[in-house]
Amino acid sequence: MRPRPWSVLLWVLLLSTAAMARETRQGTVLVAGYPGEAPPVLYVAARVSTLVDFEGLLEPRVALTPELGERLAVLPVGARSLVVVPVRDLARGERVLLPVTGRTEAGEPRALTLALVTREDEVDVQVQVSLGGAGPRVLEAAAEGGAGTVAGMLLASHEPGAGPGPSLVMPGEGLWLMGADGVEGRLESVLRVDRGRLFVTVAVRFKTRPPRPWRLGRARVEAGCWKERTRANVALPVVVTSAISGARVQRHTLATWLPEGAGCLSLTLEEDGPRTLHIHDWRFPP
């Protein structure tokens, strides 16, 4: 995690006190797809600051229209972040589109859109926006170090006819993610490497014909089952690498760092809609 100025931390602390009536979410990854796809959804609430970190996008900026300027504030923070604060909750079912512009690491201009939504039960106080690729076949997030390369190798290792890959396939029960309305997910492999690096590959399959479109918009990984039993689950920073295998199968590899003392993981994959895939407290084998 990058160091942040004390002024930013104070801003987030003061403005996030209003979030106590809702469950607050930190560490969720919003997957911004290629142009033309539905924008990733950000859960916001009145007078609650949401810190938005962008991976692969420098100097993010928002040009608010006079109408939007009366409804929310957007503050640039550092080289890769924004703080979004609505003046009041959005109406039930309302969606406000927030266009963001910036530049890539290579200096090329890049634009994306966030969809702001208010929910009664939860609010994002910190998210990471991961930029998608330029086409619908393979969508890759910006990676740190070799995470993206290893994640791509894991995705390729699950293709039909692929030879042995660097993945550790976990047999047994409890590998199916809780599905929803024509879509199901399976925890296909977990790879642990030195110094706590973890790669989790999930396959998403469509059970209906024709398949109803489902696009990963929000991903969340939490570590739990600590040796200290009173410790709560902790959201982990995640790099997402995705691949599409035909019309009925998607695979997503989530790369993260596993904290020392954690004994299990919880995964949540959300679309821009009601169908959510999740598995709770999956324990690592001895």
pLDDT in tens, 215-246: 888 899 999 888 777 788 888 888 888 887 66
Distance of CA 224 to the CA centre of its chain: 18
Domains 6-131 and 138-283 agree in fold: yes
Asked if omega into 210 is within 30° of 0 (cis), the reply is yes
Model's pTM, two decimal places? 0.70
Please choose, from the candidates 190, 212, 193, 213, the residue with its C-alpha nearest in 3D space to the C-alpha of residue 202: 190
18-27, 38-47, 158-167, 268-277 — which one is most confidently predicted on average?
A: 38-47
pLDDT of residue 141: 38
41: its two tokens: 């959804």
CA atoms within 13 Å, Cβ hemisphere of 140: 12
pLDDT of residue 173: 46
pLDDT 10s digits, 40-81:
899 999 999 999 999 889 999 999 999 999 999 999 998 999
Domain chopping of the chain, boundaries: 6-131, 138-283
pLDDT of residue 21: 67
pLDDT of residue 51: 95
Please choose, from the candidates 280, 228, 214, the residue with its C-alpha nearest in 3D space to the C-alpha of residue 259: 228
Average pLDDT over residues 194-218: 80
CATH 3.30.1370, applies to 6-131? no
CA distances from 190 to 47, 64, 199, 268 (A): 40, 43, 6, 15
DSSP-H helix ranges across the chain: 6-15, 66-69, 147-157
DSSP, residue by residue, 178-246: EEETTEEEEEEEEEE-GGGEEEEEEEEEE-SSSPPP----EEEEEEE--SSTTPPPEE---EEEEEEET
Average pLDDT over the chain, rounded to an integer: 78
Does position 107 have pLDDT exceeding 70, yes or no? yes
pLDDT 10s digits, 244-267:
766 678 888 888 888 888 888 899
Contact call for residues 73 and 146 (beta carbons, < 8 A): no
Q: Containing H/E element for 29? A: strand 23-32
Does position 174 have pLDDT exceeding 90, yes or no? no
Pick the CATH number of 138-283 from 3.30.43, 2.60.40, 3.40.1000, 1.10.287: 2.60.40
Q: Which amino acid is at 8?
A: V
Better-predicted residue by pLDDT, 145 or 139: 145
3-state SS class at 14: helix
Distance of CA 127 to the CA centre of its chain: 7
**Dihedral through CA 30, CA 33, CA 35, CA 37, nearest 10?**
-90
The share of the chain scoring above pLDDT 90, in percent, equals: 27
15-19, 126-130, 156-160, 203-207 — which one is most confidently predicted on average?
A: 126-130
3-state SS class at 20: helix
